[in-house]
Amino acid sequence: MRAVPKRPAAKGSSPKRRAFSKAEAAEFYRRLAASRPIPKTELEFINPFTLLVAVVLSAQATDVGVNKATPALFAIADTPQKMLALGEERLTEMIRTIGLFRTKARNIIALSRMLIEQHGGTVPRDREALEKLPGVGRKTANVVLNVAFGEPTIAVDTHIFRVANRTGIAPGKTPFEVEAGLERLTPAEYKLGAHHWLILHGRYVCKARKPDCPVCVVADLCRYGAKTTPSEMPAELIRARAEAVTPAPLTETSVSRPLGRRARRRV
């Protein structure tokens, strides 16, 4: 019988990348944890309710933008009862600088009313109950469970979706697929902080338009084919980062000034 020739890959498709092993995933998180020993959300909040409101406001908006609007809001409305008393019209005015502010104001008033009527004015520690609240999806519920209640959930936003797919640690076509992949591969000891390490890495290093591979502590583990070329990233740097017990902390300053990049370009 004649052998059937292999079908050529479709034009524009990329070859399947080698999956992360459990050991590689553990090392991936070890380095991220060493670079940011105390991972935490950058959203400002006072209690579980204000965290819920802040996360709802952060949809399709930046944490920086949300943090500019919420201090004045939370000073007068840090409970569902106070938020309901504030009213939709005034709330709308206070969050006008945030994208989709009218829809978000309507949802926040509605969820405040539901919290009072169905949960005694408290934020439930239950994913199903959280997802029934207006404006709350799986990602928001996961953030609240993780940050407010210490549950080892992994909320997949645009940053985490990008990092998981680009590095190859948990590729997926949908946020749910990525979440499931991360749940399977993330070691138990790193699950509580995984959400924060991944989102901060995506926000400051593995950025959408131009990832800063020269300052990345997991560059040699990453499966991204278009990252900085070896000529731009010396082998010594890759080896040092791979062997480092405690990688140097990542800072916004170091990220904005990759190691020796300008100097190398002048050579």
Which residues are identified as catalytic?
139, 157
Closest CA to 183 of 194, 198, 196: 194
Q: Tokens at residue 27, please?
A: 């090392």
Q: Tokens at residue 28, please?
A: 């991936």
| CA dist 121 → 115, 128, 191 (Å) | 5, 17, 29
CB distance 207 to 225 below 8 Å? no
Spatial CB neighbours of 157, under 8 Å, sequence gap ≥ 6: 139, 175, 199
Closest CA to 201 of 176, 219, 188, 187: 219
Closest CA to 66 of 40, 41, 36, 38: 41
Cα separation, 177 vs 192, in Å, equals: 19
Q: Tokens at residue 60, please?
A: 């399709």
Closest CA to 148 of 132, 131, 130, 125: 125
Spatial CB neighbours of 252, under 8 Å, sequence gap ≥ 6: 204
Cα separation, 83 vs 23, in Å, equals: 47
